[in-house]
């Protein structure tokens, strides 16, 4: 069939033009999309750059401010506080007084070793071989008490006794507070058990609580000696049981007692006459503990003087010893330490004699009524 006006070439050309127009249109749309994507990408990059620059600036400004603050603090420290006040030493090492009284020839003093410390003036004012090495026996427990009181916040609250320790102390014939196997005791009861009846069971329990072992605790004791400037004192255990390497001098033991009495917690324990521990299954009524020194005296035997605290000691090697703290009615404080006495009451008699006759009369108010010695044996 043949159509009029039908021109095949014209139709082909028309289709070709339409195709070219569609292609140009698609290319135009594509270019627009590419431009838009490029613009978006540019904006994203720009935003990231701005954020990083801002953060970097803040960090730099912060560092500069901190640096400026450091400089300011240091500068102020240098300008306002050029020197810090010197730290007061924990213990002033007591020297022999210029008028030191040698008691070696005094027949009234039975102990072969002794030292009288004037606390207010940091002077050893009298003594017998005051700087001679002695074994401290249970006077050791004064240093044990010091170390425990200064480490108490780091220690467990209670200790449960086991058979091995108690059995060993029994075989060593050590003095004990009387705690039993399986008994759980708190730190306060152990501190009183350490001092009043001179309990080696309490001493070792506290040592383990504070340092893990007797040996490690002895290291703490010796570190304290070094801190206090003690020159002739060394410890190997917390109990005072004999060891050739555990020693002190009457002078330095007096200084240790003085330091202990400056600690309110130590002073409270050392000054207590009697104390009852908390009730436990093993001790339903608690344990009544009595101070070994105050069981031999009242503390008011000397006119114008009150003996407020003390610690006794004895081993076969150390013999009888005692360190005590006394205050006169005029507020003067003294520490007297003895060692090596051959009988039990000698340190007590020596102590009373020295506080009565060697302390200067000017340091005492002699109008106070004299009291008598305790008949308690």
295 noted as active-site residue: no
- Angle at CA 218, nearest 5°, toward 337 and 280? 90
Q: What is the SS3 assignment for the chain?
A: CCCCCCCHHHHHHHHHHHHHHHHHHHHHHHHHHHHHHHHHHHHHHHHHHHHHHHHHHHHHHHHHHHHHHHHHHHHHHHHHCCCCCCCCCCCCCCEEEEEEEECCCCCCCCCCEEEEEECCCCEEEEEECCCCCECCHHHHHHHHHHHHHHHHHHCCCEEECCHHHHHHHHHCCCCCCCCCCCCEEEHHHHHHHHHCCCCHHHHHHHHHHHHCCHHHHHHHHHHHHHHHCCCCCECCCCCCCCCCCCEECHHHHHHHHHHHHCCHHHHHHHCCCEEECCCCCCCCCCCEEECCCCCCCCCCCCCCEEEEEEEEEEECCCEEEEEEEEEECCCCEEEEEEEEECCCCHHHHHHHHHHHHCCCHHHCCCCCCCCCCCCCC
CA-nearest of 93, 206, 212, 197 to 145 is 206
Q: Are 237 and 120 in contact (CB under 8 A)?
A: no
Q: Are 202 and 194 in contact (CB under 8 A)?
A: yes
Q: Are 303 and 368 in contact (CB under 8 A)?
A: yes
Backbone angles phi, psi at 315, to 5 degrees: -140, 165
What is d(CA 23, CA 285) in angstroms, rounded to the nearest whole number? 109
- Choose, from 198, 224, 258, 364, the residue flagged as catalytic: 198
Phi-psi sector, 365: left (phi>0), alpha (psi -120 to 50), beta: beta
- Choose, from 128, 141, 258, 364, the residue flagged as catalytic: 141
138 noted as active-site residue: yes
356 noted as active-site residue: no
- Choose, from 138, 149, 175, 324, the residue flagged as catalytic: 138
* Catalytic center residues: 138, 141, 198
């Amino acid at each position: 069939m043949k159509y009029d006006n039908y021109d095949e070439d014209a139709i082909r050309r028309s289709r070709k033009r339409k195709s070219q127009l569609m292609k140009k249109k698609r290319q135009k749309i594509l270019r627009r999309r590419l431009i838009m994507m490029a613009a978006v990408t540019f904006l994203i990059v720009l935003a990231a750059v701005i954020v990083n620059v801002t953060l970097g600036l803040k960090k730099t400004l912060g560092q500069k401010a901190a640096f400026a603050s450091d400089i300011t603090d240091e500068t102020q420290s240098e300008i306002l506080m050029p020197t810090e006040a010197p730290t007061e030493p924990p213990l002033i090492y007591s020297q022999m007084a210029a008028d030191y009284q040698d008691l070696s020839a005094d027949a009234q003093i039975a102990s072969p070793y002794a030292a009288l410390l004037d606390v207010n003036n940091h002077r050893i004012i009298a003594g017998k071989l005051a700087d001679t090495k002695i074994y401290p026996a249970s006077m050791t427990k004064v240093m044990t008490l010091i170390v425990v009181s200064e480490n108490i916040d780091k220690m467990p609250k209670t200790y449960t006794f086991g058979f091995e320790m108690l059995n060993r102390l029994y075989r060593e014939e050590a003095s004990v507070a009387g705690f039993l196997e399986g008994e759980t005791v708190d730190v306060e009861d152990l501190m009183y058990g350490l001092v009043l009846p001179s309990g080696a069971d309490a001493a070792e329990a506290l040592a383990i609580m504070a340092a893990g072992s007797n040996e490690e605790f002895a290291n703490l004791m010796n570190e304290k000696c070094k801190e206090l400037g003690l020159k002739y004192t060394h410890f190997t255990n917390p109990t005072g049981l004999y060891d050739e390497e555990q020693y002190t001098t009457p002078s330095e033991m007096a200084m240790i007692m003085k330091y202990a009495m400056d600690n309110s917690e130590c002073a409270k324990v050392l000054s207590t006459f009697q104390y009852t521990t908390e009730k436990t299954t093993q001790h339903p009524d608690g344990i009544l503990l009595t101070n070994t020194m105050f069981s031999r005296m009242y503390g008011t035997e000397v006119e114008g003087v009150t003996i407020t605290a003390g610690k006794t000691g004895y081993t076969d090697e150390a013999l009888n010893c005692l360190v005590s703290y006394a205050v006169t009615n005029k507020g003067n404080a003294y520490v007297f330490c003895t060692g090596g006495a051959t009988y039990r009451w000698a340190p007590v008699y020596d102590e009373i004699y020295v506080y009565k006759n060697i302390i200067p009369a000017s340091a005492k108010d002699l109008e106070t009524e004299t009291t008598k010695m305790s008949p308690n044996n």
